[in-house]
Structure formats: structure tokens, C-alpha cells
Amino acid sequence: MTPAQTSLIILVVVMVCYITEIVPLAVTAIGSCAAAVFFKVVPASTAWSGLSSDTNLLIAGMIVVGLAMFETGLAEKIGKTIVSVAGTGEVKLMVAIMLVTMALSGFLNNTATTAMMVPVLAGIIATSGGKIHEKFVMMPLALSAVTGGMLTLVGSTPTVIVQGVHTAAGLPAFGFFEFALVGAPICVGLLIYNFTIGRWLAVKMYGPNPEHSDYMNNMVANAAKPGEEVVERDKTKMAISGLILAGCVSGFILTNTKVLPLGTIAMIGALTCVVTGCISEKSTYRQMDWTTVLVLGGSIGFAAALDKSGGGKLLADAVINFFGDAITPFILMAAIAFIGMFLTQFMSNTAATAMLAPIGLALAQGLGVNPLPVGMALCCATAASFATPVATPPMTLVLGPGGYKFFDYIKWGGLYNIISYLMVIALVPIFWPF
């Protein structure tokens, strides 16, 4: 049996474990890496690369920065400012939060945006007196970050990869805001979905008064209760944590100059938080969301194994060959986009897009049709993936704070994933004809 075939067998087992949660998600993620090494799918250096990957360092670092924002009281203060503008109603508040997150994700890394907004939203929840619950708002936050990344060329990695593949082949480049022709309708659709079908699903899944997650129990315990005397915060540390966040965001914006990787910037921010006393070392260890870090690190490592072993390409080839001579330009576009969307639920959208973009380009040229709609559909489908907690880092980042289970993502995010996929294959041919 080839390494590619073995990797697909491991993928099936991993999918079953994720869906059934017969073992904790973090154990499944780390176990997939161990299996890839044990069965000689890839070397250990590849399988375990996710734990030290730039994305995982970015997540871990920004979690610490977020905890420091909460510990100093800055997150609570920002939350109160947003509440003062948007009001205390959950709908108005969430519309404001989602719009701000979408706008930021269009220009910043959507992972960093989510990591920055989670403690702000947690601060609002902790001081809402039970009016707002994390189960109903953390998932929409992550979905907003993912869909907001589809608004511009730099909003998500898949758009940049497809742009590079096309320009290298001598094809015209997409405009900076051209992706918004598809991304903006998906963002608007998310707002409608969240307050209609999504809200109905959430109430049906959790009930009107669900229990708090462990993450939020810690936040609520540390927040001032209505009527209680508010503990005077150290304004100096509050200001320092704000400057650290601003420094991280500035670094994320300047990352295109390749000064430092995003993960390194976030880790410098985390270290600065500890060194300046914005959060203690013990508090950092105690409050760190280890589930998120391990799930993300493990999934990135296994995604690399799936990519390097050829398992992802084997699966893509099998699906495309299934259509045979009956393939048409629309079927090609829809098939490439669907494969990308499916693979991204369990592997990096960067790897999935990098693998499928040249295949889509070659097949489109072989059929004698315009490759632009195929490439656009692919990058939109892989960018908008949110049916599992490992689909994209923003979805992983709300796993702990929201207290979600794997099936919650399939029900809530998976349905809109299907809707967004249908929107992609319907809209793309309109703006980029074959």
C-alpha cells in the first residue's frame, strides 16, 4: 500500500473520530500525526510540523494577548464601548460585531482578526448579566472572519495562491477588490442566515439557556457583576496591553514586507504581555486554551502529511476521473470547487488550493475554456470552509470559548457551507464567463 493510500485510510479514521468524538478532539488531532509517522506516510518532521507552524504560533500568541487584554480590563472596556454604540440588544450588537470583523478580515489575516475579537466579545458576554451567551455568538464571529477574508486579494491565502498560479501562466490578474463580487454576497448571506436559520438551529441545539463553557466561566468569574463595586484597574497595564495589541496588528499589516512571520509577531506580543506584568506566567499556563492549540497544530501536521504523501491529489484525481468524458466547463468548475471545499474541512486551505489550482488550470486549458472562473470558484470555495473545527483557524479558535462540539460545526457551519458553495458556483460564471 502506498503512502498516499495509507493517508486516506487514516483520514477516514480521523473523520470518524472527529464526528463521533469517541476520544477528545485534541487526542484525535495529535493521534493523526502519530499515525502518519507510525505507518511511514511521512517523516516525523513533516507530521509534527504543525505544532511549530507559523499559524499555530500565531494562534497561541494571540490567545495570550487576548487573555492579557481581559486580565487588565481592556477587553471589557472595548466591549462596553461597542455596547454604548450598538446598544445592549443581542441582534444589534452582533450585527456590529460581525460587520467590524468582516471589515477587518478583508485587510488583516482572518486568524489574527478572530484572535483579537474573541476576548472583546468575551468581555461583552461576561458583563451582559446573562443577556448574551457565547454559544450563540462565538460561531458567528468565526464565520464573519472567514467570509470577510473573501472581500479582497489579501483577505485569505487561497486568493493569493490562485492569483500567483494564473499570473505565472500569463493570465490576467484579478483586481484587489474583484473577489468581493462573490465575497460580499456571501457576507450579506451570512448576516441573513445567522439571524434566521442559524439562530433557529442554535436554539434547537443548545436550548434558550445553555451552560457556559469553561472558558467563559473563568471570564465571568473575573468580571464585575452588576451592582458590585468595580475593582479599580491598573490603567498603565491596560494601556500597555492595548499598545501590545496595536503593535501586533501593525505587524500583521506590515507582514507583506516579510519583516517577520505572523507567528513570530504574535509570540513577541505574548512574551511582552508576560514581561510587562499584563498577565502572569502562571495565569498564562492555567488559562491557555490548550485544546485549540493542539487541535490546530495536529490538523496542520496531518494536512501536511496528506499533501506530501499525495493522498489529497489521489482523492482529487478520483473525483475528477469519475466524470470522465461527460465533463463540461461548469461541471469542471463545480467539481474543482467542491473538492477544494471538502478537503479544506480536514486539511489546510492553503495546501488544498496549492494542490488543486494547477490541476484546475490544466483541465480548463485542456477543455479550451477560460480558466479564470475555475480559479475563482476554487479560491472562494476553499476560503469559505467552516463545516468542521479544523476547517480554518478562526473556526478552531472559537472551539474552546464557545464550548462547541464537532457536530455543532457540521450542523451550524456546514449548512451555510453548502449555501455558500451554491452561491459560488452560481455567481462565478456570471462575472467570469467561460
Residues 248-286: tens digit of each pLDDT: 878 877 765 567 887 888 899 999 999 999 999 988 888
40-44, 176-180, 227-231, 338-342: which range is least confident on average? 227-231
In angstroms, the CA 383 to CA 161 distance is 11
C-alpha grid cell for residue 286?
492555567
Return the axis-axis angle of helices 110-126 and 134-148, rounded to nearest 10°. Answer: 160
Q: Name the residue with higher pLDDT: 369 or 148.
A: 148
> Which one-letter amino acid corresponds to residue 340?
G
How high is the pLDDT of residue 360?
82
The pLDDT score that the predictor gives to residue 418 is 95
pLDDT score recorded for residue 183:
94
What's the half-sphere exposure (Cβ side, CA atoms, 13 Å) at 73? 11
pLDDT value, residue 425: 96
Query: Cell for 236?
Result: 498603565
Q: Which residue has the higher pLDDT, 383 or 365?
A: 383
**Per residue in 183-217, pLDDT tens?**
999 999 999 999 999 999 999 999 888 888 888 88
Q: Which three cell numbers stand for residue 275?
A: 514581561
**84-142 pLDDT tens trace:** 777 767 788 889 889 988 988 887 667 777 887 888 888 888 777 777 888 999 999 99
CA gap 291, 24 in Å, rounded: 9
Percent of the chain with pLDDT over 70: 92
CB neighbours of residue 285 within 10 Å: 9
From CA 302, how far away is CA 307, in angstroms rounded? 8
Domain chopping of the chain, boundaries: 51-157+174-293
> What is the C-alpha separation between 324 and 336, in angstroms, rounded?
14
Task: Assign 19 a pLDDT band (cuts: 50, 70, 90).
Answer: low
Give the other-Cβ count within 10 Å of 220's Cβ: 18
Q: What per-residue confidence (pLDDT) applies to 88?
A: 66
Mean pLDDT of 349-360: 77
The one-letter code for the residue type at 34 is A
Of residues 162 and 318, more confidence is placed in: 162
Is the per-residue pLDDT at 231 higher than 60?
no
Nearest to 305 by CA among 28, 24, 35, 55: 35
Q: Of 25-39, 65-79, 91-105, 328-342, give the lowest mean pLDDT range.
A: 65-79
64, pLDDT greater than 70: yes
pLDDT of residue 220: 67
Task: Give pLDDT, residue 269.
Answer: 92
pLDDT of residue 400: 85
Question: What pLDDT, on the 0 to 100 scale, is given for residue 224?
Answer: 54
Question: Is the pLDDT higher at 293 or at 282?
Answer: 282
Return the pLDDT at 14.
Answer: 80
Alpha carbons 132 and 404: distance in angstroms, whole number: 16
Mean pLDDT of all residues in 385-402: 88
pLDDT for the residue numbered 252: 74
Give residue 237's Cα distance to chain centre.
30
* The most confident of 16-20, 162-166, 216-220, by mean pLDDT: 162-166
Above 90 in pLDDT, residue 423?
yes
Residue 128 identity (one-letter amino acid): S
pLDDT given for residue 207 in this prediction: 86
Instruction: Name the average pLDDT for the chain.
Output: 83
